[in-house]
Structure 1
Amino acid sequence: MNTNQEDRFSMYYVVMNTCDKYKAVWETNAVFSATYNLWVAKIPLIEQNRDAQILETTGITTNKTARRATMTEKALFVENRLQSYANVENNPELLESIKYTVSDLKKARDTDVIGICNTILARANAHAAAIVAYGVTADMITDLQAAIVAYTTTLANPKAARSQTKTATQNLSDLFKESDTLLNTRLDLDIELFKITNPDFFSQYKTARMITATGGGGTSVLGRVINAGSGEPMKGVTFTFYAEPNGTMKAAGGEKVKPIVKKSADKGKFRAKLPENMYRVVVEKIGFKKQEIVITVANGESTNLNIELEMN
């Protein structure tokens, strides 16, 4: 998400939390309830596409590179042993069919390097019994075959990840437009139903609808949350950042600064763009012990936040 979308999504969380707090007030009102349920259904869709958008393609590419290196290393060893065997047996046909250099495998395109390795594999299988004496066991041939298969399966992953990111970006744009339309043309009007009957709900809703801009001089807080018991990353953990009153950030007109809410993605990671200030951070997820910590966000500096949550 871009900065504007992050700011709006943070506002969505505050609106949702406010409405949940007063659910007993509006749930029997058919008009407000219908509008709210339509709007709140957009939030998990935004979360899903946000998670897809920030998919780490770097890790996928790194995995592909590592598997190629493993495959070529095994292939070159087997090729070397086959060449030794071919020289001893005076088999120029075999020798000519596997004359590949390290540079050949390094520079070959993805599909070409697979073809080269498959050629070496085929020659190894054809002379499997004979090359045992040259240091190539049946397990080594099997390992080479497995390495070729493992590398082949990674070829489409980076492209698929980029395509997924592009699709998610477009989906987010559409979902934010739909969500904002529901807020602006319906929920913001329907809240007037409670202006007299429940002024606290009305007032807090209006405050929740204010967007706190975190762009400009803000600095990102990068974090990751894991399950303390299993070590697995945790998705859907809520991080609420409350600006400390003795910090540097002040709201216009002396009003209280709205909290900024973020949720962790699939790999337990999140990013929050926050103005320079001191924050009390509340970390919570149903079924786990709530944590509260205080961090200082300095302008121009990166703040890392790593959390381990314990089950209740």
Structure 2
Amino acid sequence: MDNVKRGKTSMYQVTYDYLTANREKMDSMPNFPVYYDELGVDISKLLGFAAVETTNLTGISNRKNELKMVVAQNAYDLSTRIFAYAEQSNLVELQKDSYYPESVLKYGTDAFVRDNSRKLYNLAQANLENLAAFGVTAETQATFLANIDQFEKAIPLKRDSVSERVKRNKAYDAVMVQTDAVLKKIDSLAVTLRLSDPDFYAGYKSSRKIIDTGTASLSVKGQVVEVGSLVPVPDAFVELMPLPLNGDTPLKKKTADKGGFRIKSMTPGNYQVKVSKYGYTEQVLDVAVNSGETTKLTITLAKN
């Protein structure tokens, strides 16, 4: 649920509570009891949609990420053992095929981690007898394969859940249209009390204001400078990706004349920051963004 929907739903609740506290003012008006009941039903539906979305998608995503971290750790451990065997045996091609930096497996996309974990599993199977001295056995392989299978099953589950969220959002939108229509009818009744009961009407109008739940707080404030000279680097590209990396669309910024950039209203969490500009070596680092705080960065780029 985005901030617009969250704000409108909060407004619906405030208006409903205000009408509940002042029912005697409007209960005798034509059709008001019907509109009041419809408003209550619609709000219950909207809150139900929001609760399901938050609980289900977060739980599934967390489970998938837990499995991914287990598989990535297994894969990196196996990679080091195969590489050690290949290096000791002067098997150059096997060295190339089995070498993976830990960060690549830890922060790779779901598909990358899945596919390359299976690749490492197959490499180990092909050299299982020779790898026994390096701690790779049929038992460790069976455990690794079971973990890969669990992770692979969790990936489409997350995708299916996202599809369900799309359907839920459409249903949410439809109920909001109904709710707005009901409130429009209540508005037409409430305005008749504008002169005879100005205090009530002023309170009603106030309750109908949409609550802005979005924040414009500054999350990240950074500057990109050259190594050594600390000369600002303008027009550098800055990308922030939430960790673990799952193929999400990055937040993109371009540095200003003095090398600065700002990003507002980010979701708290860990992010990978990638800074690049033609003629400079790309810089990659991890940062934490905390709620209510501004993360300040000074990133240095070295000329090629």
What TM-score does the superposition give when structure 1 sets the normalisation length?
0.46
What TM-score does the superposition give when structure 2 sets the normalisation length?
0.47
Greater relative contact order (Cα 8 A, min sep 6): structure 1 or 2?
1
